[in-house]
């Protein structure tokens, strides 16, 4: 049975129904609708999103009780952390990770929600952690609940799109590459080595700003600090062009998913489809 994913973009929302099959990710349904423009740092206009969701659900999509939601990277602070060691007790380990991730963040650790993945490193452990103000996450959940839906999990666009990319193109990527998520108001760069996130940077740019030079500088900085890494490929998830310094591949939705009968993504922002489908398929 396909899972349901819902992506919040700057001025629209996208819902996708996707599932893993023996032939890859199958998109069973997809729809988008305009929504009120908002800042990921502030309170969402729940009534406006309720109307947008009602418009989507009034179509031919399958009925759904809960969704996995995907939110902009700039709504959270995500970072790759290094530890010599972590406590064996899970709760104690989470407190250590949260304290370190919250350094320089706008909210106090006790007011935050933490999500993380641990990875083996040559010395100690690396942790990809995302920390968010609890009120911001609750705002997204409230906007969805206003439409009568539950929320199963919350993730960020870049990670959901990366999961979709890794699932669909595992043979091509070779396990080591850059993944660039390009939105109207931000970009993120992930360096993936041997299938694990080794580096992450997110930068708010403002709508209409060309971030090409900043993205290229991020590539160069990482490669300079990791000269032994074979990082000659970059996959663009979203809209970005003219990037040099690596072999750039702009990824279309059709390369990541197979469309079910009668399903179309025409006119729907590609990043929204990728993020929503990635969230849905990961359930």
How does pLDDT run across 41-62, given as a tens digit for each residue? 666 777 778 888 888 888 767 7
Provide the pLDDT for residue 178.
95
Provide the pLDDT for residue 243.
67
Q: 224 with 191: CB under 8 angstroms?
A: no
Calpha distance 82→105 (Å, rounded): 18
CATH topology of domain 3-74+134-281: Nucleotidyltransferase; domain 5 (3.30.420)
Mean pLDDT, the chain, rounded, equals 88
Per mean pLDDT, which range of 19-33, 124-138, 178-192, 243-257 is the poorest? 243-257
For residue 74, give the DSSP letter: G
- 12-39: average pLDDT: 89
- 192-205: average pLDDT: 90
Structure tokens at 143: 């906007």
Per mean pLDDT, which range of 20-24, 136-140, 207-211 is the poorest? 207-211
- Phi-psi domain of 91 (left: phi exceeds 0; alpha: psi -120 through 50; beta: other): alpha
Provide the pLDDT for residue 185.
83
Q: 15 with 80: CB under 8 angstroms?
A: no
Provide the pLDDT for residue 122.
66
Provide the pLDDT for residue 220.
93
Helix or strand or coil: residue 178? Answer: strand
Q: In DSSP terms, which residues pair with 34 in a beta bridge? A: 12
Q: Find tokens 């290094």 and name the residue.
A: 82
CATH topology of domain 75-133: Dna Ligase; domain 1 (3.30.1490)
CA 13 to chain centre: 14
| pLDDT per position as a tens digit, 73-122 | 999 999 999 999 999 999 999 999 999 999 988 888 899 999 998 887 76
Calpha distance 249→267 (Å, rounded): 21
| pLDDT per position as a tens digit, 115-131 | 998 887 767 789 999 99
Domain definitions of the chain by residue range: 3-74+134-281, 75-133
For residue 8, give the DSSP letter: E
Cα–Cα distance list, 150 to 66, 221, 265, 272 (Å): 4, 42, 25, 20
- 134-156: average pLDDT: 90
């Amino acid at each position: 049975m396909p899972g349901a994913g819902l992506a919040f973009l700057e001025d629209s929302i996208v819902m996708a129904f996707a599932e893993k099959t023996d032939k890859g990710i199958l998109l069973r349904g997809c729809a988008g609708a305009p929504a009120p423009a908002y800042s990921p740092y502030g309170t969402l206009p729940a009534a406006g999103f309720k109307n947008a969701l009602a418009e989507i659900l009034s179509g031919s999509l399958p009925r759904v009780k809960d969704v996995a939601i995907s939110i902009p990277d700039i709504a959270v602070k995500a970072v790759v952390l290094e530890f010599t060691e972590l406590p064996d007790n899970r709760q104690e380990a989470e407190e250590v990770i949260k304290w370190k991730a919250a350094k320089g963040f706008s909210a106090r650790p006790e007011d935050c929600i933490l999500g993380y993945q641990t990875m083996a490193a040559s010395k100690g452990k690396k942790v990809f952690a995302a920390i968010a103000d609890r009120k911001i996450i609750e705002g997204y959940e409230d906007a969805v609940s206003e439409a009568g839906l539950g929320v199963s999990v919350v993730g960020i666009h870049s990670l959901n799109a990366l999961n979709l990319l890794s699932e669909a193109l595992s043979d091509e990527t070779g396990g080591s590459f850059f993944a660039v998520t390009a939105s109207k108001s931000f970009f993120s760069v992930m360096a993936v080595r041997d299938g694990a996130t080794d580096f992450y940077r997110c930068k708010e740019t403002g709508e209409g700003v060309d971030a090409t030079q900043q993205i290229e500088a991020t590539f160069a900085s990482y490669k300079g600090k990791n000269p032994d890494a074979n990082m000659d490929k970059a996959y663009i998830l979203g809209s970005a062009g003219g990037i040099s310094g690596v072999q750039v591949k702009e990824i279309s939705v059709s390369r990541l998913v197979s469309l079910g009968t009668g399903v179309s993504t025409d006119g729907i922002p590609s990043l929204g489809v990728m993020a929503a489908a990635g969230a849905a398929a990961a359930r």
